[in-house]
Structure 1
Amino acid sequence: MRKKLSLAATGAVALFALTACGGDTPGDEENVNADGNTIIEIGAVPVPHAQILEYVDENLAADAGIDLEIKEFDDYQTPNIALDEGSIDVNYYQHLPWLEDQMATKGYEFEHGAGVHIEPYAAFSKHDSVEDIPDGGVVAITNDPANQIRGLRLLEEAGLVQDIDDETTALSITDEQNPKGLEFEENQPEVLVQISGDPKVDLAILNGNYLLQAGMKTADALLLEDVSADNQYANFLVWRAGESTEAIEALEEIMQSDEVKQYIKDSWPDGDVTATDAE
């Protein structure tokens, strides 16, 4: 049977690795359930990733000969630590720029599947319009490089900053790029939702999964990322390099299926989550 765990801190991974049955290569005899289906231990953040996986596990997995054990994580670092240490077989929560940065800075050796869905980046404000954001206004922005540039480009599209390039950061942005003198306050992405309502914050740029988890809607955002074109921020399955198996390939096929695309469309009809190649 599927089980869900919530691991909120990286320190929990070490304890989990000692106590759980994870880390077996999918397909090993001891990693097969009572029905003979191969168990895949997969890490994900709660919304929308774990929710999508729950649908897969309850409706599609058994017919493909697999059984998902979904382990929920509340941050962006722990799922890759768990995958690298072998306490899960796959994770589902990240996009290509984040994965590439993680592999470059942490030395991970991972492979990934095709994009499954995109959560548009969104900026929320106490102001009713972009024009109301004052000179010197406070912008709360993520401290991770892979997503920070995404936030800066969202601001550029709105005309709040200009001439943003791939090397621009909230700390290095020049006066010429930042003519309104916006003040950037960096924080962890999971914390930004909590401070988005702070009266001193004029604009808070939030990751899609955290705003959904907080019960927020992109329809209420002042700025919203365009995901209609090919988007490098599509989220996908990730596994250890060279350790793809028939079970993982079966899961990858399911995640690209019309059934999953339709489930995403039905569950988030307003575009809070968009399936890749969705019509």
Structure 2
Amino acid sequence: MRTSLIAAAAGSLALTLGLTACGAGTDGGPKGSGGGTLVVGATPTPAGEVLTYVKDHLAKKAGLDLEIKEFTDYVTPNTALQEGSLDANLYQHTPYLKDFNTSKKTDLVPVTEVYLPPMGVYAHKTKDVRGLRTGATVAVPNDTTNEGRALQLLASRGVIGLKKGVGGTATPADITANPKKLDIKPLDPAQLPRSLDDLDAAVINNNYALDAGLSPKKDAILLESPKGNPYNNVLAAKKGEEDDPRIAKLAKLLTSPEVKKFIEDRYKGSVLPVAAR
């Protein structure tokens, strides 16, 4: 009798472990099977707001149970996605995603482009980036892809010159011309709006500008052009899970006419829906 009980308990434990190893969704169904809640990570603005619109107005009709988790940095949403506590995320562009995969040994993939959050230059004491004083301190994001992106933006107006062909991988070491002897200061992207009072100018990512109450369309003294811009933000997933039916549903909703209109009405040119271009 005792032997039979032990055998039964062992069999029950093995079954439990087997189910766990397969990966259970939040409703107990297998992860990636198309059932259960889809957990998506995002920075609060604009990604979190766009996802909240989808959750409140579109998801139920599409048969999608959506949970949104917000983050205030650029690293944790990808780490959480790789480790499996998120099913997808929305906040980054493909160049950042590729660089993250290389540096962190992750295997994340873009699913669909959603919107362009144009990067801008902000300043309190000048209305034109070419009006910066000689020796001005200009801060840029300190992560690899956004630093290069910021330097390219400054170079597009002739404020600095860069080595030919460096593209989005540019660093301050690639500056070949600096007629105003600008002091280029890399800072954590989240710190840039808070540091603006102590700087002559800062090149700020769109989401952090919006979070700080800045309007890229109205307040930036120089704003990226959408033409040929490679920095559209993407819905991302872990490689091998990008075909999850729940992720496919979300991708379709994020590129729908309803979301296009929401982005246009909400951000009035400060964020540009991909579907509009």
**What corresponds to 1:169 in structure 2?**
171
CA distance in 1, matches of 2:252, 2:144: 31
Identify, as 1 or 2, the structure richer in helix.
2
Return 5+ residue gaps in structure 2 as ranges: 1-22
Report whether the alignment pairs 1:250 with 2:252. Answer: no
Flag as ranges the 4+ runs of structure 1 deviating above 6 A. Answer: none
User: Secondary structure in 2 aligned to 1:114?
Assistant: strand
- Whole-Å Cα distance in 2 between the matches of residues 118 and 149 of structure 1? 17
- The 3-state SS of whatever aligns with 2:150 is helix
Per-residue Cα deviation, 1:130-151 (whole angstroms, up to 9, x for no partner): 3431222111111011111111
Q: Report the alpha carbon displacement of residue 38 of structure 1 after superposing the two structures with TM.
A: 3.1
Identity %: 37
Give the counterpart letter for 1:217 in structure 2. S
Give the match for residue 151 of structure 2: 152
| Inter-CA distance 55–173: structure 2 relative to 1 (3 Å threshold) | same
Q: Deviations over 1:165-199 (max 9, x none)?
A: 235302x134x32232211111110011110121x
Whole-angstrom distance in 1 between the partners of 2:107 and 2:54: 27
Bigger Rg over Cα: 2
SS in 1 for 2:225: coil
Preserved contact between residue 38 and residue 65 of structure 1 (Cα < 8 Å):
no
Q: Deviations over 1:188-223 (max 9, x none)?
A: 10011110121xx11110000001011111111111
Query: SS of the residue aligned with 2:170?
Result: coil
Name structure 1 gaps, 5 residues minimum: 1-22
The answer on whether the counterparts of 2:128 and 2:222 sit within 8 Å (CA) in structure 1 is no
Q: Which residues in structure 2 correspond to 1:44-55 (within 5 Å)? A: 44-55=42-53
Q: Which amino acid aligns with 2:171?
A: T
TM-score (normalizing by structure 2):
0.84
- Checking the alignment, whether the CA contact within 8 Å between 2:121 and 2:129 is kept in structure 1 is no
SS in 2 for 1:230: coil
Q: Which amino acid aligns with 1:119?
A: P
Contact 1:37 1:62 in 2 (8 A): no
Equivalent position amino acid for 2:201 in 1:
L
AA of the residue aligned to 2:71: F
Which residue identity lines up with residue 182 of structure 1 in the other structure? L
Q: Cα distance 1:179–1:26, how it changes in 2: closer, same or farther (>3 A)?
A: farther
Corresponding residue for residue 260 of structure 1:
259
Q: What corresponds to 1:63 in structure 2?
A: 61
Task: Report how far residue 113 of structure 1 moved.
Answer: 1.5
Q: Distance in 2 between matches of 1:267 and 1:30?
A: 37
> 1:268, CA displacement in angstroms?
1.1
